[in-house]
């Protein structure tokens, strides 16, 4: 999402809204739960526990996707504040590119998981109840291929989030600017 770099300065909001902050941290928390959950479910061995972990992983992932859809809509309609004053151009560009890539991956990762599971392992239910299977044909071979891409994309997301977190901490602890504070709840 590069609206922060493409919108004219006058039309950019001065801060992130409460909903933008809540969605940022809610989605971050879900993703940070999803990764160890996924590693546990694929390594625990077959059985009732594995089935339960799969169900939690799929359901949390679908909740994350719904929140991401809301977040993208808020971002497109409201925009985001410009970078802190004095930031070198290359760092502004790096922030714009990495934020766009983060948005791309938080849409793509759960979508691929949903599509792959719908193809290989229907039905896909939200928390053991609401049926949400996508109409994707091809069975196990197609499902496995899509889930392979889902896994690679998920680990790329983890790597980018690590970089993003390091950048946020660098702003806060080394540059001592307001970048992290403006994504935190305002007092």
| Least distance CB 187 / ligand HEM (angstroms) | 16
- Strand 125-126 vs strand 130-131: parallel, antiparallel, or unpaired? antiparallel
Cβ proximity to ligand HEM: between 39 and 97 the closer is 39
CA nearest 109: which of 42, 157, 54?
Answer: 157
Q: Are 12 and 4 in contact (CB under 8 A)?
A: yes
| Least distance CB 182 / ligand HEM (angstroms) | 6
Cβ proximity to ligand HEM: between 32 and 138 the closer is 32
Reduce the DSSP state of residue 130 to 3 states and report it: strand
CA nearest 92: which of 167, 169, 173?
Answer: 167
d(Cα 183, Cα 136) in Å, to the nearest integer?
Answer: 38
Contact residues for ligand HEM (CB under 6 A)? 1, 4, 24, 27-28, 31-32, 34-35, 38-39, 42, 57-58, 61-62, 64, 75, 80, 83, 95, 99, 102-103, 106, 109-110, 113-114, 117, 124, 147, 150-151, 154-155, 161, 164-165, 168, 179-180, 183
| Least distance CB 42 / ligand HEM (angstroms) | 4
List strand residue ranges (DSSP E) for the chain, in order.
Answer: 125-126, 130-131
Cβ proximity to ligand HEM: between 48 and 64 the closer is 64
């Amino acid at each position: 999402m590069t609206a922060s770099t493409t919108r004219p300065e006058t039309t950019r909001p001065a801060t992130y809204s409460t909903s933008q902050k809540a969605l940022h941290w809610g989605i971050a928390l879900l993703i940070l739960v999803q990764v160890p959950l996924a590693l546990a479910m694929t390594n625990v061995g077959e059985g009732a526990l594995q089935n339960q972990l799969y169900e939690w992983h799929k359901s949390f992932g679908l909740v994350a996707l719904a929140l991401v859809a809301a977040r993208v809509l808020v971002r497109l309609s409201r925009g985001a504040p410009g970078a802190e004053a004095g930031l070198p151009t290359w760092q502004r560009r790096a922030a714009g590119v990495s934020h766009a890539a983060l948005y791309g991956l938080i849409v793509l990762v759960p979508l691929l998981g949903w599509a792959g599971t719908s193809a290989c392992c229907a039905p896909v239910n939200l928390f053991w109840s609401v049926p949400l299977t996508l109409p994707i044909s091809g069975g196990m071979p197609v499902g496995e291929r899509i889930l392979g891409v889902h896994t690679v994309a998920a680990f790329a997301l983890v790597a980018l989030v690590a970089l993003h977190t390091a950048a946020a901490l660098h702003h806060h602890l080394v540059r001592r600017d307001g970048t992290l504070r403006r994504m935190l709840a305002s007092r």
